[in-house]
Structure 1
Amino acid sequence: MLKGLKMDAIECDGDQQDVFYIAQAIEPKIEIDPINIIEKMQDQAIQEYDYYAFDYLNRVSRADIAELHDRLNKEFNDWQEKNGYKPNFYDIRSEESFSINDYDSEKREITKQHKQTDIYDMGC
Structure 2
Amino acid sequence: MRAPIPDEEMNLITDCVYCDYLIEVLEHDQQLVFKSTFKIPEAWEGFLDAHIGLLLKERGTLRNLCREKGIKVMDSVWEEGEFLRVPYTARGYQGEMRFWRFALQLEGAKRLEQIFLHPNKTP
Q: Which has the higher contact order (CA 8 A, sep 6+)?
A: 1
Does the alignment reach a TM-score above 0.5?
Answer: no
What TM-score results when the alignment is normalised by the length of structure 1? 0.30
What TM-score results when the alignment is normalised by the length of structure 2? 0.31
Computing the radius of gyration from Cα coordinates, the structure with the larger value is 1
Structure number with the higher strand fraction is 2
